[in-house]
Amino acid sequence: MIDIRLIRENPDLVRDNIRKKFQDAKLPLVDEAMRLDRANRAAINEASELRAKRNSLSKQIGMLMGQAKKDPAKAAEAEKIKAEVKADGERLAELEQLEDKYKAELRAVMMQIPQIIDPSVPIGPDDSANVEIQRFGEAKVPDFEVPYHTELMERFGGIDLDAARDVAGSGFYYLIGDIARLHEAVLAYARDFMIGKGFTYMIPPYMMHGAIVEGVMSQSDMDAMMYKIEGEDLYLIGTSEHSMIGRYINRLIPAETLPHTLTSYSPCFRKEKGSHGIEERGVYRIHQFEKQEMIVVCRPEESMDWYEKLWRYSVELFRSMDIPVRQLECCSGDLADLKVKSCDIEAWSPRQQKYFEVCSCSNLGDAQARRLNIRFKDADGKISLAHTLNNTCVAPPRMLIALLENNLQADGSVTIPEVLRPYMGGKERLEKAPAV
């Protein structure tokens, strides 16, 4: 959510930003925001004038009543002023209701206007215009067939989709044996990797109130992603950074404690509406998965430096597991409304012979902080909105697709990357196992 002062002072900049995001249907929102802002300020000003007038008239009434003993006409004059005060009081009550109404309507409109994107963001209508920035590691295609990822997992007796479908429907899974253990090894390694970078490990609530959901994401994203608990003001989290950022609601942070660098583990629950194509069957897009996340709360002047650090941590992590990756800059039309700048880290798939998304790094500027009232206070007493950032550390089981494919050997075994072996009891390879 942007500052209303920006719309007052430079509405054309806001309109231009909307056009850059290819959301022309939202252009009328700028005029509507200005109309509501003018009406709200007019109501506030009139109410302030009436309060000042009431104070002045109250003093006159007191003086007149004091003089009424000697001059009965003064009492009549006082009563006349009392009637005026009463009428003004009724108008003041109306104005206070109008202030609440305009404030709520203005907030609803402002919540739909996208955040101002960074000048470095490439302009394009959708993800087809995203720009590859650089590659890390050699993307190899082996001289043997690489099976579909669920077939690979089945070779090791590691997945049961049929039973999961019977129990919970499509989009769920059972992971078994070494595949389940590898899943947890990746999460444990990612946790320790981020702790080694100085991040504080946290486990957040897996549900959150509607006010937090509204504060951390757009309405369209909320409708497409979130599962609501029937009859309660609670939603299952779709990603842990939402409840992690929600932790700071209405907080005034001492500036000397910034930045706050956090890494969080959680299960995640998503509707995943719509069809995503044949390559997203299996465990690519699912309703339930686990994730290790990176979150930063910092000063505005530090946020772009942290953005650079966060996506590079993802590259370092994946390269340590022998997985080639690339950085893909998200274009304007592919940015969610709250984002200032974002990039994806994509892993190489030897089977598909292309890259696919495994991490998403985002700088949200002050958008979440403005919605949730997250501020910091400098030593000189100045209060400012913080900036928030997030990045996927790892999100298995999708990440397992990249790990299994890139470490598959010609004999059908999978080499376990050295960094994961301590979490696998020293095991160096996955070998075909009997089904469970």
The answer to the question of residue 117 being in a domain is no
pLDDT confidence bin for 305, thresholds 50/70/90: very high
CA distance 188 to 263: 12
**151-155, 202-206, 268-272, 399-403: the lowest-pLDDT one:** 268-272
Predicted confidence at residue 70, as pLDDT, reads: 56
Q: Are residues 248 and 320 in the same domain?
A: yes
**74 has a pLDDT exceeding 70:** no
pLDDT score of 274 more than 60: no
Q: Cα(387)–Cα(389) distance, rounded to whole angstroms?
A: 7
pLDDT score of 280: 55
Give the residue with greater pLDDT, 206 vs 83.
Answer: 206
144 in the same domain as 31: no
- How much is the mean pLDDT over the chain? 91
Judgement on whether residues 82 and 164 belong to the same structural domain of the protein: no
Same domain, yes or no: 303 and 239:
yes
Query: Are 140 and 241 part of one and the same domain?
Result: yes
**Bigger pLDDT: 237 or 61?**
237
Please check the confidence at residue 36 and state whether its pLDDT lies above 80: yes
DSSP state at residue 256: G
Give backbone dihedrals phi and psi of 131, rounded to 5 degrees, phi first. -115, 125
Catalytic (active-site) positions: 270, 285, 357, 360, 398
Task: Count up the domains in the chain and report the number.
Answer: 2
Q: Is-contact 349 402, C-beta < 8 A?
A: yes
d(CA 363, CA 335): 11
The band of 57, judged by pLDDT with boundaries at 50, 70 and 90, is: confident
User: Which token pair is 176?
Assistant: 């078994």
Q: Domain for residue 118, yes or no?
A: no
Judgement on whether residues 102 and 156 belong to the same structural domain of the protein: no
Handedness of CA 241, 246, 247, 252 (dihedral sign): positive
Q: Is 1 exposed, middle or buried (0-12, 13-18, 19+ CB in 10 A)?
A: buried
CATH code at position 76: 1.10.287.40
| Strand intervals (E) in 197-319 | 200-202, 207-208, 227-228, 235-236, 252-254, 260-269, 288-298
Q: Is the pLDDT at 275 greater than 50, yes or no?
A: no
Cis ω for the linkage preceding 267 (within 30 of 0):
no
List the domain range (segments joined by +) for residue 31. 4-110
Task: Identify whether 121 is part of a domain.
Answer: no
Name the band, by pLDDT with cuts 50, 70 and 90, for residue 67. low
pLDDT digits (tens, 9 = 90+) for 382-416: 999 999 999 999 998 889 999 999 999 999 999 99
**% pLDDT > 90, the chain:** 79
Q: What is the pLDDT of residue 277?
A: 46
DSSP 330-390: PPGGGS-TT-SEEEEEEEEETTTTEEEEEEEEEE-TTHHHHHHT-EEE-TTS-EEE-EEEE
Q: Which of 119, 205, 178 is nearest to 431 (CA)?
A: 178
Where does the pLDDT of residue 250 fall: very low under 50, low under 70, confident under 90, or very high at 90 and above?
Answer: very high
CA distance 57 to 49: 12
Distance (Å, rounded) from C-alpha 187 to C-alpha 292? 6
What per-residue confidence (pLDDT) applies to 278? 43
Between 283 and 28, name the one with better pLDDT: 28
